Structure 1
C-alpha cells in the first residue's frame, strides 16, 4: 500500500478537470519525490512497482503518465528515484520553453489563431510570441462541459493577448475566420494520431475544409511508444443535465492527415513518419 501522502496526490490527479497531461505528469513526478522521502530499501521497491501500475491509471488516455512511470526505475535507492523524478520535471520545463520558441515562429503578424481546450504548451507559444512583440489574437472555445477555455481566457488576459470566446458549436463557423489552428495533446499515438480534448477532431476538420493550417503542440513525453490510435482507451465521465444523462467522452482522436505538424522540443514533426 502506498503512503497516504502519495495516494492523496494520485487521487488529486484522478479528480483534475481543467489541467492536462503536462500538469498531471509533473504532479506524478512530485509524488515520486515524496515517495523517495518516506521509503527506502525493499519497501521503496515494492511501492515503485505499485506506482508503475497506479500512475498510468490516474488517466489511462494520457501518454505522459505511462512514460513517467517507465522513466522512474524500480530500485531500492531513494536518491536515484528523487534524481530521476527531478530530471523528468526539469526536462519537461525545458521542453516547454523550446516548444514556445519553435511554435512562436509559426505566428505571423496579425495572425488569428483558433484553439480548443487548455494546453500549457500552447500558452507558452502565445507567451513567447507576445514577448517577441508579435501582434495576434486568439479565438478560443469555452470547451464545455468543464470549461477549460475559460481558464485559457484568464491566462491570455493576464498576458495582454486579445481574444474572443465562442461556444463549441461554433467551431466550424469561426474556423473560416482564423489563419492558424493550434491545440495541445494528451497522447500522440505510434501511427501519428492526436488524442486531445473532445472537439479537437471537429476543429481539425473545419480547419482542413477552410484551408487553415492545423498544428499540435506537445512535449515528446506525450508520444506513446506502444499504442496505436485504435488501442487508446477513451475515458467517459458521468454527466447529466436537467435529469438527462449526456454522453461525455473526454477525448477524441484526430487522424494524422489533418495535422500539418506536431511542435515538440525536438522540432516540428510530420506525422506519422517522424513520430
Structure 2
C-alpha cells in the first residue's frame, strides 16, 4: 500500500485540469522521490510495483506517465529510485530547453502562430523566439471547458508577446490568418499520430485546407514505444452545462499526414517514418 503522502500527490495529479503531460510527468517523478524517502527494501519494491500501475492510470492517454513508470526500476534501494527520478526530471527540463531552441527557428519575423490548449513545450518555443529578438504574435483558443488557453494568455502577457484569444469554434476562420501552427502533445503513437487536447484535429484540418504548416512540440518521453493510434484510450470527463450533459472527450487523434513535423530535443522528426 502506498504511503498517504505519495497517494496525495497521485490524487493531485488526477485532479489537475490545466497543466498537461509534461507537468504530470514531473509531478509523478517527484512522487517517486518522496517514496524513496519513506520506504526501503521489500516495502519499497512492493510500492514500486503498485506505482507502475498507478502512475500510468492517472491518465491512460498520456505517454509521459507510461514512460515514467518504465523508467524507474523495481528495486529495494531508495538511492537508485531517487537517482532515476531526478534523472527523469533533469532530462525533461533539458529536452524542453532544446525544443525551445529548435522550434524558435521555425518562427520568422512577423510570424502569426496559431495554437490550441496549453503546452509548456510550445511556451518554451515562444520564450526562446522572444529571447532571440523575433517579432511575432500568437492566436490562441480559449480551450473550453477548462480554459487552458486563458492560462497560456496570462503567460504570454507576462513576457510581452502579443496575442489574441478566440473561441474554439473559430479555429477554421482564424487558421486562414495564421502563417504557422504549433501545438503540444500528450502522446505520439508509434504510427506517428498525435494525441492532444480535443480540437487539435480540427485545427490540423483547417491548417491543411489553408496551406498553413502544422507542427507539434513534444519531448521524447511523449513518444509511446508500442501504442498505435487505433489503440489510444480517449478519456471522457463528466460535464454538465445548464442541466444538460455535454459530451466531453479530453483528447482527439491527429493523423500523421496533417503534421509537417514533430519538434523534439533530437530535432524535427517527420512522422511516421522517423518516430
The normalised TM-score by structure 2 is 1.00
Q: Could you tell me which residue of structure 1 aligns to residue 84 of structure 2?
A: 84
Output the CA distance in 2 between the equivalents of 1:224 and 1:13.
20
> How far apart, in 1, do the equivalents of 2:168 and 2:22 lie?
23
Aligned length: 275
Cα distance in 2 between the residues matched to 1:242 and 1:41: 53
- SS state of the match for residue 5, structure 1? helix
Alignment partners' CA distance in 2, 1:176 and 1:105: 22
SS at 2:185's partner residue? coil
Query: Aligned equivalents of 1:130 and 1:99: distance in 2?
Result: 14
Displacement of 1:20 after TM fit?
A: 0.3
Q: Which residue of 1 aligns with 2:236?
A: 236
Q: 1:176 maps to which residue?
A: 176
Helix, strand or coil: the match of 2:114?
strand
Counterpart in 1 of 2:40? 40
Cα deviation 1:173-225 (Å, max 9, x = unaligned): 00000000000000000000000000000000000000000000000000000
* CA distance in 2: counterparts of 1:206 and 1:159, whole angstroms: 29
Match of 1:61 in 2: 61
Q: CA RMSD in A?
A: 0.2
Q: Residues of 2 paired with 1:125 and 1:168: CA distance?
A: 22
Q: Look up the SS of the partner of 1:73 in the other structure.
A: coil
Structure 2 match to 1:165: 165
Find the aligned partners of 2:8 and 2:162 in 1 and give their Cα distance: 38
Does the alignment pair 1:265 with 2:265? yes
Residues 22-50 of structure 1, C-alpha deviations (whole Å, 9 max, x = no match): 00000000000000000000000000000
Separation in 1 of the partners of 2:104 and 2:5? 39
* Matching of residues 60-139 of structure 1 within 5 Å: 60-139=60-139
Q: SS of the counterpart of 1:157?
A: helix
Gaps of 5+ in 1: none
SS at match of 1:257: helix
| Distance (Å, rounded) in 1 between the aligned partners of 2:13 and 2:199 | 22
Q: CA deviation at 1:260?
A: 0.0
Q: Distance in 2 between matches of 1:155 and 1:128?
A: 14
**How far apart are the structure 1 equivalents of 2:236 and 2:190?**
23
Give the equivalent residue in structure 2 for 1:215: 215
Distance 1:240 1:258 in 2: 32
Distance in 1 (CA, whole Å) between partners of 2:113 and 2:95 is 22
Report what 1:201 is aligned to: 201
Q: Which deviations, in whole Å up to 9, do the C-alpha atoms of 1:115-164 show, x marking residues without a partner?
A: 00000000000000000000000000000000000000000001100000
Tell me how far apart the structure 2 counterparts of residues 126 and 45 of structure 1 sit (CA, whole Å). Answer: 42
